[in-house]
Amino acid sequence: MRLTEKRVTEMGPDDVTIRRVEPRDQQAIARMWEALSVYHTQLDSRMPQMTAGASAAYASRLVEVCDDDQTHAFVAETGGAVVGYVLGAIVDLTPDLFEHEDVGFIADIYVEPEHRRRGIARELFQAICGWFAAQSVRQIEWQVAVANGDARRFWEAVGGRALTMRMRLSRPE
Protein backbone atom coordinates (compact mmCIF):
# COMPACT_ATOMS: atom_id res chain seq x y z
CA MET A 1 0.00 0.00 0.00
CA ARG A 2 1.37 3.43 -0.95
CA LEU A 3 1.84 6.21 1.60
CA THR A 4 -1.09 8.09 0.05
CA GLU A 5 -3.42 5.13 0.49
CA LYS A 6 -4.83 3.95 3.79
CA ARG A 7 -7.23 1.20 4.65
CA VAL A 8 -9.86 1.80 7.30
CA THR A 9 -10.15 -1.61 8.93
CA GLU A 10 -12.34 -0.90 11.94
CA MET A 11 -15.38 -0.42 9.72
CA GLY A 12 -16.77 -3.91 10.06
CA PRO A 13 -17.86 -5.76 6.92
CA ASP A 14 -17.00 -2.92 4.52
CA ASP A 15 -13.42 -2.33 3.51
CA VAL A 16 -12.75 1.39 3.05
CA THR A 17 -9.69 2.78 1.31
CA ILE A 18 -8.57 6.40 1.62
CA ARG A 19 -6.62 7.37 -1.50
CA ARG A 20 -5.64 10.36 -3.60
CA VAL A 21 -8.22 11.71 -6.01
CA GLU A 22 -7.93 10.44 -9.58
CA PRO A 23 -9.65 11.65 -12.77
CA ARG A 24 -12.03 8.66 -12.64
CA ASP A 25 -13.52 10.14 -9.42
CA GLN A 26 -14.87 13.25 -11.12
CA GLN A 27 -18.52 12.11 -11.41
CA ALA A 28 -18.66 10.91 -7.81
CA ILE A 29 -17.15 14.17 -6.56
CA ALA A 30 -19.65 16.20 -8.59
CA ARG A 31 -22.51 14.17 -7.10
CA MET A 32 -21.25 14.58 -3.53
CA TRP A 33 -20.46 18.30 -3.88
CA GLU A 34 -23.97 18.88 -5.20
CA ALA A 35 -25.45 16.96 -2.27
CA LEU A 36 -23.32 19.02 0.12
CA SER A 37 -24.43 22.29 -1.49
CA VAL A 38 -28.11 21.33 -1.46
CA TYR A 39 -27.82 20.22 2.18
CA HIS A 40 -26.33 23.56 3.19
CA THR A 41 -29.06 25.56 1.47
CA GLN A 42 -31.69 23.35 3.13
CA LEU A 43 -30.09 24.11 6.51
CA ASP A 44 -30.06 27.83 5.87
CA SER A 45 -31.55 29.55 2.82
CA ARG A 46 -28.98 32.34 3.18
CA MET A 47 -26.23 29.97 2.06
CA PRO A 48 -25.11 30.51 -1.55
CA GLN A 49 -27.21 28.74 -4.16
CA MET A 50 -25.23 26.75 -6.71
CA THR A 51 -25.54 27.65 -10.35
CA ALA A 52 -26.39 25.33 -13.23
CA GLY A 53 -23.42 23.12 -14.02
CA ALA A 54 -21.59 24.09 -10.84
CA SER A 55 -21.11 20.54 -9.57
CA ALA A 56 -19.44 19.39 -12.80
CA ALA A 57 -17.27 22.52 -12.88
CA TYR A 58 -16.25 22.03 -9.24
CA ALA A 59 -15.30 18.39 -9.79
CA SER A 60 -13.37 19.23 -12.95
CA ARG A 61 -11.38 21.94 -11.15
CA LEU A 62 -10.73 19.67 -8.19
CA VAL A 63 -9.30 16.94 -10.43
CA GLU A 64 -7.17 19.53 -12.28
CA VAL A 65 -5.57 21.00 -9.16
CA CYS A 66 -5.69 18.09 -6.74
CA ASP A 67 -2.04 17.24 -7.19
CA ASP A 68 -0.28 20.58 -7.39
CA ASP A 69 2.03 21.71 -4.60
CA GLN A 70 -0.66 23.84 -2.91
CA THR A 71 -3.79 21.67 -3.22
CA HIS A 72 -4.58 18.06 -2.43
CA ALA A 73 -7.65 15.85 -2.25
CA PHE A 74 -8.46 12.36 -1.02
CA VAL A 75 -11.45 10.09 -1.55
CA ALA A 76 -12.91 7.28 0.55
CA GLU A 77 -13.76 4.22 -1.48
CA THR A 78 -15.67 1.09 -0.52
CA GLY A 79 -16.85 -1.71 -2.74
CA GLY A 80 -15.51 0.13 -5.78
CA ALA A 81 -17.64 3.21 -5.04
CA VAL A 82 -16.39 6.60 -3.90
CA VAL A 83 -18.39 7.53 -0.77
CA GLY A 84 -16.53 10.57 0.56
CA TYR A 85 -13.88 13.17 -0.21
CA VAL A 86 -11.83 15.94 1.34
CA LEU A 87 -10.18 18.92 -0.36
CA GLY A 88 -7.42 20.94 1.24
CA ALA A 89 -5.18 23.79 0.13
CA ILE A 90 -2.24 25.70 1.53
CA VAL A 91 -3.03 29.40 1.79
CA ASP A 92 -1.54 32.53 3.30
CA LEU A 93 -4.68 34.29 4.45
CA THR A 94 -3.10 37.70 5.02
CA PRO A 95 0.07 37.80 2.92
CA ASP A 96 0.95 41.48 3.21
CA LEU A 97 -0.45 42.44 6.61
CA PHE A 98 0.91 39.88 9.06
CA GLU A 99 3.92 37.64 9.38
CA HIS A 100 3.87 34.95 6.73
CA GLU A 101 2.32 31.69 7.85
CA ASP A 102 1.13 28.97 5.54
CA VAL A 103 -2.21 27.68 6.75
CA GLY A 104 -3.88 24.48 5.65
CA PHE A 105 -7.44 25.23 4.64
CA ILE A 106 -9.97 22.41 4.40
CA ALA A 107 -12.36 23.58 1.70
CA ASP A 108 -14.73 20.62 1.81
CA ILE A 109 -15.22 17.27 3.47
CA TYR A 110 -18.18 15.04 2.71
CA VAL A 111 -19.26 11.47 3.38
CA GLU A 112 -22.44 10.06 1.90
CA PRO A 113 -25.17 9.78 4.58
CA GLU A 114 -25.40 5.98 4.49
CA HIS A 115 -21.66 5.74 5.26
CA ARG A 116 -21.52 8.23 8.12
CA ARG A 117 -20.70 7.49 11.78
CA ARG A 118 -18.18 4.83 10.81
CA GLY A 119 -14.97 6.84 11.05
CA ILE A 120 -14.64 7.69 7.37
CA ALA A 121 -14.72 11.48 7.80
CA ARG A 122 -12.13 11.20 10.55
CA GLU A 123 -9.88 9.14 8.25
CA LEU A 124 -10.29 11.68 5.45
CA PHE A 125 -9.43 14.44 7.94
CA GLN A 126 -6.34 12.56 9.11
CA ALA A 127 -5.24 12.00 5.51
CA ILE A 128 -5.41 15.70 4.64
CA CYS A 129 -3.74 16.60 7.94
CA GLY A 130 -0.94 14.16 7.07
CA TRP A 131 -0.48 15.87 3.72
CA PHE A 132 -0.43 19.29 5.41
CA ALA A 133 2.20 18.02 7.88
CA ALA A 134 4.34 16.73 5.01
CA GLN A 135 4.21 20.28 3.60
CA SER A 136 5.34 21.70 6.99
CA VAL A 137 1.95 23.33 7.62
CA ARG A 138 1.26 23.65 11.34
CA GLN A 139 -2.12 25.43 11.42
CA ILE A 140 -5.28 24.10 9.79
CA GLU A 141 -8.54 26.00 9.39
CA TRP A 142 -11.98 25.43 7.90
CA GLN A 143 -15.44 26.94 7.90
CA VAL A 144 -18.54 25.22 9.18
CA ALA A 145 -22.15 26.30 8.81
CA VAL A 146 -23.56 27.42 12.16
CA ALA A 147 -26.78 25.52 11.41
CA ASN A 148 -24.87 22.27 10.78
CA GLY A 149 -24.77 20.86 14.30
CA ASP A 150 -23.46 17.44 13.23
CA ALA A 151 -20.54 19.00 11.39
CA ARG A 152 -19.77 21.34 14.29
CA ARG A 153 -19.67 18.36 16.68
CA PHE A 154 -17.39 16.46 14.27
CA TRP A 155 -14.96 19.37 14.01
CA GLU A 156 -14.89 19.81 17.77
CA ALA A 157 -14.32 16.05 18.21
CA VAL A 158 -11.19 16.21 16.02
CA GLY A 159 -9.85 19.12 18.04
CA GLY A 160 -11.19 22.17 16.24
CA ARG A 161 -11.95 25.29 18.25
CA ALA A 162 -13.87 28.38 17.14
CA LEU A 163 -11.62 31.18 16.00
CA THR A 164 -13.90 33.67 14.25
CA MET A 165 -17.55 33.85 13.32
CA ARG A 166 -18.70 34.89 9.86
CA MET A 167 -21.88 36.95 9.98
CA ARG A 168 -24.34 38.16 7.36
CA LEU A 169 -27.00 40.84 7.20
CA SER A 170 -29.66 40.37 4.56
CA ARG A 171 -31.16 43.70 3.67
CA PRO A 172 -34.57 44.07 2.04
CA GLU A 173 -34.41 45.03 -1.62
pLDDT in tens, 9-55: 444 446 899 999 999 999 999 999 999 999 999 999 888 899 999 99
pLDDT, tens digit (0-9, with 9 covering 90-100), for 80-95: 999 999 999 999 767 7
Q: Is the pLDDT of residue 132 over 50?
A: yes
Report d(CA 97, CA 50) in Å as an integer.
Answer: 32
pLDDT at residue number 105: 95
Task: Note whether 110 and 84 are within 8 A (CB).
Answer: yes
Distances (CA, A) of 108 to 12, 15, 59, 94, 99: 26, 23, 12, 21, 26
Asked if residues 129 and 140 have their Cβ atoms less than 8 Å apart, the reply is yes
Q: How far is CA 60 from the centre of its chain?
A: 16
Mean pLDDT to the nearest integer, 118-143: 96
Cα distances (Å, whole numbers) of residue 91 to 4, 27, 103, 105: 21, 27, 5, 7
142 touches 106 (CB < 8 A) = yes
Distance (Å, rounded) from C-alpha 143 to C-alpha 109? 11
Tell me the mean pLDDT in the region 55-78: 91
Per-chain mean pLDDT for the chain = 89
Instruction: Please enumerate in sequence order all residues whose Cβ is within 8 A of that of 136, keeping only pairs 6 or more positions apart, or say none.
Output: 102
Question: Distance between CA 11 and CA 136 in Å, rounded?
Answer: 30
Q: Is the model more confident about 167 or about 118? A: 118
d(CA 94, CA 38): 31
Collapse the DSSP code of 69 into the 3-class scheme (helix H, G, I; strand E, B; otherwise coil) and give the result. coil
In order of start, what are the domains of the chain with their CATH numbers? 6-157 (3.40.630.30)
- pTM of the predicted structure, to 2 decimals: 0.86
